[in-house]
Amino acid sequence: MIEVEDLEEVADGLRVQVRRSKTDQEGQGAVVPIVRGRKACPVEAVNDWMASAGITTGPVFRRMGRGGRVFPDALTPYSIGQIVKRYVEAAGLDPSEFGGHSLRAGFITSAVENGASIFRTMDVSLHRRVETLRGYVRRAEEFKDHAGDGLL
């Protein structure tokens, strides 16, 4: 869960203190840098969300009720997966093939396709082992520097 107190906005983006993650069961924590975007800016999106929802402390990402009412409690991993599935279905895709983890996998694949280094990607995804990240990257890079490129 990310809380308002875990966010530090700086000129280049947002620093997010992740207190605990799947790869950090001991709870040592890590700071994840979120860069400002040119096409879509996640920093502005978070700021706009918190301003419109009146969030000044506590969980950043919260449950919502009918009529746009924002509740004080945080979204759960399950609810995030359900939100992803709802929007995937609205886009005409099969929701059974997607979940909350799809956001992470999609970021990693897109970052590598865009030329980001594996190590810089790991700074954001918080993967500790290159071998684990490699599973995400393989498909994004399958045609880059292909051994048969230029032979045909």
Could you state, in order of their start, the residue ranges of all structural domains in the chain? 1-62, 76-145
Q: How many CA atoms lie within 13 A of 20 on its CB side?
A: 4
C-alpha–C-alpha distance, residues 83 and 65, integer Å: 13
pTM greater than 0.85 (yes/no): no
Task: List pLDDT tens digits, range 94-126.
Answer: 999 988 888 888 888 888 888 888 888 888 888
User: For the segment 44-85, what is each residue's pLDDT rounded down to a tens digit?
Assistant: 999 999 999 999 999 999 999 999 899 999 999 899 999 999
The CB-based long-range contact list for 111-119 (8 Å cut-off, 24+ gap) reads: 112/136, 112/137, 112/140, 112/141, 113/140, 113/141
* Contact of 142 with 109, CB cutoff 8 Å: no
Structure tokens at 139: 């498909």
